[in-house]
Structure 1
Amino acid sequence: MEFEISTIREQAPQPAKAVLFSSGRTRFRTKAFVAIVPMTVTFTLGLWGIRRQNSMWGDESVTYQLAHRDLTQIWRTAQHVDLVHAFYYAIMHEIYGLVGGGLLTLRLPSVLAMSAAAAGVGLLGLRLAGIRAGLLAGLVFALVPQIQQYTQEGRSYAMVCALVTWATYALVACVVRHTRWRWTAYGTTMLLACLLHEFAVFALAAHGITLLVSGVPRPALRAWSVTVACIVVGLLPLAIRSSGESGQVSWIAWPDPVQLLGFLAMVTVGMRCARRPMNVRGSIQLPALALPILVLPGLLLLLLSPVKPLFVDRYVLYSSIGFALLLGAGIDRFHRRQLSSRTSWVVALAVLAALLPPSLYLRTPQSRHDDVIAIGNAVRHAARPGDGLLYLPGRHRVWTGANPEDTRFLTDLALVSRDPDCVTSSCY
């Protein structure tokens, strides 16, 4: 009898352990699948035509030139112009120092960052609305034309988008399990996003709205408030110093009609999806998270326009996170309740066909308003040594700075007027 009882005790726990182990492994595989598929699609789309026929637009040229200077020169330049992007230039300087290269090195960090963002969007959707909603949200995010555009930009916007995405994921995790290290991860990630671009601070406001409407416990609200205070303290020196360079955004007029219509269309679709019942999971519901981050950043920029026009869609690119989550969950709901499998495939193919023309256009030089490599080539082929070169206005000198060989033997007339001993543009 004792032998039989001991045998039963030894054998009884084993099936439970096996079930728990299998369940944990299944959850890991599910998370990996929902993260890897959107990440792979985004990475593939990012590599597709990444060189854009060897073209580079003006802002990318600034990144390229400053990234090839040493950190002391970057800091000296930032004291007069582009202080808000100094952190990004320092990062790109280190990347070029490690791997070297040209256009591919300039844009590949953005491709990798946006791929990470797509994985984060998928995992957010999985956590808030289920497997299919998460997968669809990640794929929607990857296919949004605006996301495809800045996946291939040598600027900070893709990195900011990735950091805000993962900070949002950390916020959801903090509410579920309230620990100090999770709040530290959230605060650190958001601070890095704000240091890369100050307008990432609007995501904090969206997160605050999410917590308030979700009715999270007071300890979580207090922890979030303390974390936000630390972020603001860390960002404040940059915000104060950069306010003296407000002339850098003097080119922004009233909201561009195309960008404004795009923003309003995304908000309309997102709100339409949020009105429908969704698969609710956890203490934070998907609409409560996605709607504020979709609407609030762009809305705040629009409200500031009468005082200081600042509405540019790439400044709040991370708003696409909310759009992708809402549309992904909305598509999932329609699929479950109304559409047959054949109809789903027809709709998916129609959407892909509609996205193909803008996707092709975004990978051409004409998709950006200036091509500094083409400008440099035109100057080099048209000019003769000793010819004069005049930049109108002077800030357009950056157009030929990416390749100094294009203007090495030409006389920069504006610089000569300041220093008669200078005979070529290479003097400065």
Structure 2
Amino acid sequence: MVLTPCGLMLLLGAWGLRRQDAMWRDEAVTYDMAHRGLADLWPTLQHVDVVHGLYYVLMHAWFRFYDATLGGTLGETVGLRLPSVVAMTAAAAGVALLGQRLAGRRAGLCAGVTFALIPVVQQYAQEGRSYAMVCALVVWATYALVVAAARPRRKLWCGYAALMLTACLLHEFAVLALPAHGAAVILARLPRRVLRAWALAAATVLAGLAPLAVFSTRQSAQLSWLVWPDPVQLLTFAVLAVLGAGCARIRVASRGPISLRALALPLLLLPTLFLFLLSYAEPAYVDRYVLYYVVGFALLAGAALARLLRPAGERGQTRARWRRRTMALVLVAAALLPVDVHLRSADSRVDDATAIARAVREVAEPGDGLLFLPARRRIWIAPHPREFRGLHDLALAKSPVASHTLYGTERSGNTIRARMLAARRIVVAADPDGQPVDTDDQEIAKRATLREAFEVCVSREVRGARVTVYGRRGECGGPQ
């Protein structure tokens, strides 16, 4: 019951893990921060990304081991994503055990397999970010809650609080699982002592998270890129919510004080709904922030499948009907195959720092100037600094490490313009056409100077970026 979902999740996580060595911008941030010394990491977190601080520390420790042992053999992208594969495998095991405890062994098996087959689960099992770890911790905290509700013990409640607090410290929005847990406890009509124990554990989690939450409000500008929920992400949630609600209509015998429906429906719906409502005050909705909502769907779908796939004779159903239902499930899995294949391609993320670095190397000449539009795209250097050697970053005042920032600090607009006018050729790594542009002095100076004093020598569009060589008139030279 546990080994099958774990084996499937591990297999799907390992399939295409390198993704042609592509690394998108968020993974590049993880790679950069994990390879900074702890003495540099702490001052950086005081300026930016403190919400991911614990994750960066864990990845720093992991890379210390990985680079010394397996790095030369497996490569950087495997090391970056392997912890997420392991975490999602642990999550699949937890989902299977939850399904077993709430609805029986067959339901646990189906829930674990369903969880592993969900495309968004496979996506974040192969990303070097904290979301798979958060999902696994929420799953096991939920399991601890179910066990503690059936057999209240101080150790179990302490374990629940510790797991939830760790999940919240890895990412603050894990706290949105608490309302789902509270709803499950209330709907189960548990004894007051159990309600008090859960409330105390939840208060402990909130108290432990409070310092980080207060401090991180100083860095809220990091979410300025969010405008409104992505329609594709909302559609994914809507589809799973409707399917999950449909599965919840199928009656499943309860095997403990908390029923599967009372736990799974709030876990499926409440975290995303709370995050969506929060976005009305300040844009914050991204589906990966509450990735663990898919656990609720997997539990509901697993219980429904377990009931529908009972062998002939248990419900008086014919073998032909059982075969038709099995074939329908096989067809659903086959329909997901194109999505799964796409997730393992280099084009499946918003950009590809590896391809961008390769394009820069191919079009640049030693001594060329270098610009990033906007400045935050300087993170493309982090995974492949060698590809940018010999180029002069005309806007950079202090490097990311020296300035304790993610992207470094830039000179004034006038200084950038003067340095650009002194250059013969400039390689520009920028967002693709059609993206909104920044309006600070530095970005305005870059665009205006390129337009007024340079001409395009060569331009290449790669995944999520456009690499262009600009030259003074008659000075293009190099590859055309």
**TM-score, length of structure 1 as denominator length:** 0.89
**Deviation at residue 345 of structure 1 after TM alignment:** 2.7
Structure 2 equivalent of residue 357 of structure 1: 338
- List aligned pairs for 1:35-54, cutoff 5 A: 35-54=2-21
| Structure 1 SS opposite 2:148 | helix
Q: AA paired with 2:411?
A: R
Query: Relative contact order (alpha carbons < 8 A, sep ≥ 6): 1 or 2 greater?
Result: 1
Map of 2:353 onto structure 1: 372
8 Å CA contact retained: 1:379, 1:406: yes
* Contact 1:56–1:371 (CA under 8 A) maintained in structure 2: yes
Higher helix share: 1
Deviation at 1:123, TM superposition (A): 0.4
Task: Please list the CA deviations of residues 96-136 of structure 1 after superposition, one character each: whole Å capped at 9, or x if unmatched.
Answer: 00121211110000000000000000000000001111100
**1:305: Cα distance to partner?**
1.9
**1:21 equivalent in structure 2:** none
Give the corresponding residue for 1:313: 287
Q: In structure 2, the residue corresponding to 1:384 is in which secondary structure?
A: coil
How many residues matched?
391
Match of 2:33 in 1: 66
Determine the C-alpha separation between the residues in 2 that align with 1:321 and 1:401.
34
Tell me which of 40, 43, 47 is aligned to 1:80: 47
Letter in 2 for 1:130: G
Asked if 1:347 is matched to 2:314, the reply is no
Match of 1:322 in 2: 296
Task: Measure, in 2, the Cα distance between the counterparts of 1:345 and 1:198.
Answer: 40
1:277 maps onto 2:277 in alignment = no
Any conservation in 2 of the 1:121–1:141 contact (CA below 8 Å)? yes
Residue 106 of structure 1 corresponds to 80
State the partner residue of 1:217. Answer: 191
Q: Which amino acid aligns with 1:353?
A: A
Q: Which residue of 2 aligns with 1:22?
A: none
Paired position in structure 1 for 2:365 = 384
TM-score by length of 2: 0.79
Q: Is the 8 A contact 1:373 1:400 kept in 2?
A: no
Structure 1 residues not aligned, in runs of 5+ = 1-33
Q: Which letter does structure 1 place at the counterpart of 2:3?
A: I
Q: Which letter maps to 1:332?
A: A
**What is the CA distance between 1:404 and its match in structure 2?**
1.2
Shift of 1:418: 3.2
Deviation (angstroms), 1:335: 2.2
Quick check: 1:97 aligned with 2:64?
Answer: yes
Q: Percent identity?
A: 54
Alignment partner of 2:206: what SS?
A: helix
Q: Is this contact kept in 1: 2:157–2:201, CA < 8 A?
A: yes
Does residue 399 (structure 1) correspond to residue 380 (structure 2)? The answer is yes
2:309–2:326 Cα contact (<8 Å) kept: no
How far is the alpha carbon of 1:334 from its aligned partner? 1.9
Query: How big is each residue's C-alpha offset from its partner over 1:387-408, in whole Å with a ceiling of 9 and x where there is no partner?
Result: 0111111111001221111112
In structure 1, C-alpha distance between the alignment counterparts of 2:411 and 2:110, rounded to whole Å? 59
- Offset, 1:350: 0.4
Determine whether 1:418 maps to 2:411: yes
Shift of 1:94: 0.1
CA–CA separation in structure 2 for the residues paired with 1:223 and 1:342: 47
CA distance in 1, matches of 2:196, 2:78: 44
Verify: 1:235 aligned to 2:191, yes or no. Answer: no
| 1:291–1:322 Cα contact (<8 Å) kept | yes
What letter corresponds to residue 405 of structure 1 in structure 2?
R
Measured in 1, the distance between the counterparts of 2:395 and 2:225 equals: 22
Letter in 1 for 2:329: A
Q: Where in structure 2 are there 5+ consecutive unaligned residues? A: 398-409, 428-480
Q: Distance in 1 between matches of 2:329 and 2:237?
A: 23
Letter in 2 for 1:46: G
1:276-301 CA-partner distances (Å, limit 9, x unpaired): 21122111100100001100000011
Distance 1:310 1:418 in 2: 31
Query: What is the rounded CA distance, in whole Å, between the counterparts of 1:309 and 1:264 in structure 2?
Result: 19
User: 100, 105, 119: which one pairs with 1:126?
Assistant: 100
* Cα shift readout 1:307-355 (whole Å, capped 9, x = no counterpart): 1121111011000100000011111122235573322331222012111
Residue 205 of structure 1 is matched in structure 2 by 179
| Aligned-CA RMSD value | 1.7
d(CA) in 2 for partners of 1:418 and 1:119?
51
Q: Secondary structure at the match of 2:395?
A: helix
CA distance in 1, matches of 2:295, 2:411: 49
For 1:305, what is the secondary structure of its paired residue?
helix
**What's 2:232 paired with?**
258
- Distance (whole Å) between structure 2 residues aligned to residue 215 and residue 302 of structure 1: 28
